[in-house]
Chains A and B, each alone.
Chain A
Amino acid sequence: MTDKVLTRITVNGVLHERWVEPRQHLVDYLRDELGLKGTRSGCEHGVCGACTVRIDGDIVRGCLTLAVQADGARVETIEGVSDSGEIADLQHAFLESNALQCGFCTPGMLLTADALLKSEPAASREQIREHMSGNYCRCTGYHAIVDAVESTRETRRLAGCGGDRHE
């Protein structure tokens, strides 16, 4: 019964059908099976947030989700949202504020920040800090990350695309 399970997951808009070991978590599935290396494995016990991806629109910890659990789901990774341009404004703001150094936490940081800006388009600096507090960055002092999220909040507000909550 520990056999591989046929799993169909739509990743970044492409349906992938793979036999996967039940024990394989979503990060290893994305990285090892699909070659999507942008999702980083930082702790594998659900603390650091580097492996944040979206399942059916919600951010999740990739290391606390089995690939087989995502069967039938829609998964988006940093590669997907980069290719589509969905978070280009946020990525730009991260560069402009120098909100990253080594970049290892950045994909998870970006997806986490984007989720906040979509659910709370008027998030305060304090709310941003709270929301981002599940994502660990060892290089920056978080200050620039908060700056970047704030500036994107303003750009989006001006552009009138506050967005809907992810339900």
Chain B
Amino acid sequence: MNDLVAPPVVAEAAAPPHIGRRVVRPNARRLTEGRGTYVDDVELPRMAHVVYLRSPHAHARVVSVDVTAAHAMPGVIAIVDGARLAQVCAPFVGTLSHMVGMRSAPQYAIAIDRACWQGEAVLAIVADTRALAEDAVETIVVEWEPLPAVADMETALAPQTPVIHAELGSNLCYHRELDTGGVDAAFAGADVVVEETYVFGRHTGVTMEPRSVLADFNPAERRLTVHHSHQAPHMMADLYARQLGLPEADVRVICRDVGGSFGIKVHAYADDFATVALAVLLKRPVKFVADRLESFVTDIHAREHRVKARLALTREGRMLAFDIDDLTGIGPYSMFPRTSVVEGNQVVNITGGPYNHPEYRAKLDVVFQNKVQTSQYRGVGHPVACAVTEGIVDLAAVRMGIDPLELRRRNVMEDDSYPRKGASGIVLEKLSHQQCLAKLETMIDYPALRQEQAELRKKGIYRGIGIAVLIELTNPGAAFYGVGGARIAAQEGATVRLDPTGVVHCAVGVGEQGQGTETIFAQIAADEVGLPLAAVRIITGDTAVTPYGGGTWASRGAGIGGEAVLQASRQLRTNILALAAAHLKRDAGELDVADGKVRDRATQATLVDFAELGRIAYFRPDLLPQGFQSELVVTRHYSQRTYPFVFTNGVQASYVEVDIETGFVKLLKHWAVEDCGRVINPLLLDEQIRGAIVQGIGGALFEECLYDGSGLLRNGSMADYLVPMASEMPDIEVAHVETPTRTSELGAKGAGEAGTAGAPAAVMNAINDALAPFDVRVTAQPFTPEKILRALNKI
């Protein structure tokens, strides 16, 4: 009866935490309705379109250019060459000082006099529409003098091979050796030595949305706004300012929806500088959207490696030493500003990474060639390192007659052995190889799978099981780029703000590319401030309004950006409590926050909600005690400084069937056990891992940029460059082990790339397991029917 008169304040159940839950992405609904905004969707007044005339040769001198007819074409605004553009935009060199000894040559926004790869731009044609610009390009007559091209990386350093940049003296970009000292002794004393060479085809990222940039220069204010499909807006703002001589404060980079990136969009392309420089030169907005054919010859490529590997073991199957020799070809210029040597460098750092072997030697040669530039693409060296490591471990297992899972169990670093170093010198905080292997074994029902394999083999059906243990480098500190002199932020900032309506806005330097960054930031803010997810708004992708940050790469978004959000949100919660205490004339220690309301810690009774606090703070501060000032905007920064990187680990398994008559591989199933520390949103995480696995499978079975001997790309279209499609991909089961990092309070490590790291190795091992009865192996990715038939001696 009492409640009819004066309803009691009912204690409210605390809202469940958002972190750890399968939260659906609030910002994805617009994408399902076609209401996203990618760069090509943005139209500005007086906007012009640029098309680049690109070299059809791998290496050629421009003898002459006749643009007379093009100038007379309808809609043509300007035709600009490299020399003219160099007056607006300075050349750049893609080197990092901590990659000791690396060299590259200056690269211009548009090549001057000489093109060094098929696809390098030598002329910009700006017109009212893309179609009109293309019409004009057709009328331009370029006289080329083809020069000898360096195509094959194996002979790039040979004395008879022409040197691409005479001033460098050779085609060597970078050389590194790592040696623990006892490798020769370890091999000499080993019971078993296995040796194999692994070859990796060049890939490219093939983002669904091509690279896009819309540069808008206002000459009256000398302010530049760039709409960019990019992963690192602050980095680009800094670079545009530097190369074009503008104050960075007057350069704004906006990244709205980004249609896939995977590392393809973390670099500063010559096309980007050219487009921005054209906008400055022409005093009007200029848009460049790569079409699919030019994407294939301008988006960075990756992964062209040849690795010779040796592994020494005792007869009990203890690994003693790894010894690798990696050769990689990177195109004619090291990519700016992250360089083209990081991939090879990571192969050196990570090969053998999961294991206990004491000795390790690695040699790396990074060479120039007249092909598309290579650089960091999802996984960056990991897929190579993992395939080499896991391939040769499987070879050892076969030679020694030890079950491949068992051989790994005997050699992975023990879960209780951390923190520790790996043989390459990498510092490992805490990994969980043993737990992951155990979980995988149960998950795939390994004994049953082996039994099924054996029974089917008797019927002439050849199935294989492949396992790949991996480590992944995430949450980098300044070790990646900052120490090498690149102005790429190693920290991340988050600004949270309580508005008068009780809504929290959170601005972060890390952007959204579809992986769900904004959603997990909202989850973190909701939990740490203490309000419903629906009352959180996330702002990313605009250098004018977000804290200075590095962006999204190297699996750093959740771990670094998320921690900044956590710290800022906690402080805002404290500030809200202080405001409530002042308003309620209570001690802040007696108060608590949940679900957007302040309540009595003792009784759990709701005392005041955020909207009321906002109203008072913003509109009626006169009601608050003298001397109290509410602070409802908080910025916090976070940088991971305990380790150079926070490593994660995982294990994958692939189950395949090889048709030994056709060489076709059918992927039956794929599993992944992943330890990325604290799981923030399993719904998003699992498909992120699956997507990464499918990209890895792409490399293992389908993808390769095929070049001819003169450096020309032979399959530069979506019809000819094969990416994985739904029909051939398996169902992928994902499970987690959670070992939170202690470098942050959030405890999250990165998760974006491990799938790509492990999948090629797992698939390769599965194929070779299926082929085992025939005593043949394949080690050159992609594993095409052709290669498998040849291995089987069918052709």
A residues bordering B, Cβ < 8 Å?
Answer: 21, 23-24, 31, 36-48, 50, 77-79, 82, 91, 94-107, 110, 128-130, 132-146
Contacts and interface: CB of A to CB of B under 8 A. Distances in A.
A79 B32 CA distance: 10
A105 B28 CA distance: 13
B40 A41 contact: yes
A141 B209 contact: no
- Classify chain B's interface size: 35 or more
A101 B717 contact: no
Nearest to B689: A141
A95 B208 contact: no
B439 interface: no
B438 interface: no
A109 to B, nearest CB: 9
B34 interface: yes
Interface stretch (B12-20, B573-581, B719-727): B719-727
Interface in B249-297: 257-262, 291-293
8 contacts: A38-B34, A77-B34, A79-B35, A82-B33, A132-B727, A138-B260, A141-B687, A141-B689
A83 to B, nearest CB: 8
Nearest to A28: B131
B694 interface: yes
A129 B37 CA distance: 28
A102 B690 CA distance: 14
A141 B34 contact: no
A79 B38 contact: no
B29 interface: yes
B718 A136 contact: yes
B41 interface: yes
B729 interface: yes
Given A47-B718, A139-B691, A141-B687, A103 B292 contact: no
A148 B59 CA distance: 48
A140 B259 contact: no
B784 interface: no
Which of A50, A96, A140 counts the most B-chain CB atoms under 10 A from its CB? A140
Contacts of B292: 42-45, 48
Given A44-B292, A100-B28, A78 B726 contact: no
B500 interface: no
Contacts of B356: none
Contacts of B724: 142
Given A48-B718, A79-B33, A141-B694, A102 B729 contact: no
Contact of B717 (A36, A45, A135): A45
B406 interface: no
Given A104-B260, A130-B727, A136-B725, A98 B34 contact: no
Contacts of A141: 687, 689-694, 729, 732, 755
Q: Is the interface of A mostly helix, strand, loop or mixed?
A: loop
A135 B726 contact: yes
Contact of B695 (A31, A110, A138): A138
Interface string B136-151: 0000000000000000
B514 A100 contact: yes
Contacts of A134: 725
Given A95-B32, A143-B690, 8 more contacts: A31-B40, A47-B719, A101-B513, A102-B208, A102-B259, A103-B28, A103-B514, A134-B725
A-B interface, 5 closest residue pairs, ranked by CB to CB distance from nearest:
A38-B34, A103-B31, A141-B690, A101-B514, A78-B34
B687 A37 contact: no
A139 B729 CA distance: 13
Contacts of A104: 36, 38, 208-209, 257, 259-260
Contacts of A140: 687, 690-691, 694
Given A43-B292, A98-B684, A101-B516, A110 B32 contact: yes
Nearest to B257: A103
A107 B32 CA distance: 6
Contacts of A95: 24-25, 28-29, 32
B515 interface: yes
Nearest to A32: B129
A79 B626 CA distance: 54
Nearest to A133: B727
B206 interface: yes
A143 B732 contact: yes
A104 B25 CA distance: 16
A139 B25 contact: no
Nearest to B292: A43
B25 A37 contact: no
A146 B728 CA distance: 13
B208 A143 contact: no
B23 to A, nearest CB: 10
B207 interface: yes
B726 A133 contact: yes
Nearest to B35: A38
B538 to A, nearest CB: 16
Nearest to B209: A104
Nearest to A46: B719
Interface string B700-737: 00000000000000000111000111111101100000
B389 interface: no
Contacts of B755: 141
B719 A42 contact: no
A142 B205 CA distance: 17
Which of A24, A103, A132, A135 counts the most B-chain CB atoms under 10 A from its CB? A103
Contacts of B535: none
A22 B729 CA distance: 39
Contacts of B93: none
B683 interface: yes
Contacts of A129: 726-727, 729
Interface in B199-215: 205-210
A45 B31 CA distance: 23
Interface string B502-516: 000000000001111
Given A102-B258, A135-B726, A138-B723, A94 B32 contact: yes
A114 B687 CA distance: 22
B36 A103 contact: yes
Nearest to B32: A91
B569 interface: no
B688 interface: yes
Contacts of B30: 103
A164 to B, nearest CB: 24
A3 B695 CA distance: 45
A74 to B, nearest CB: 18
Nearest to B721: A47
Contacts of B686: 98
Contacts of A136: 208, 718, 723, 725
B148 to A, nearest CB: 32
Contacts of A142: 690, 694, 724-726, 729
Contacts of A99: 687
Given A136-B725, A141-B732, A91 B29 contact: yes
Contacts of B262: 138
Interface in B734-750: none
A101 B687 contact: yes
Given A79-B33, A107-B34, A138 B207 contact: yes
B703 to A, nearest CB: 11
B208 A137 contact: yes
A5 B513 CA distance: 40
A98 B29 contact: no
Which of B32, B33, B694 counts the most A-chain CB atoms under 10 A from its CB? B32
A50 B226 CA distance: 25
B513 A102 contact: yes
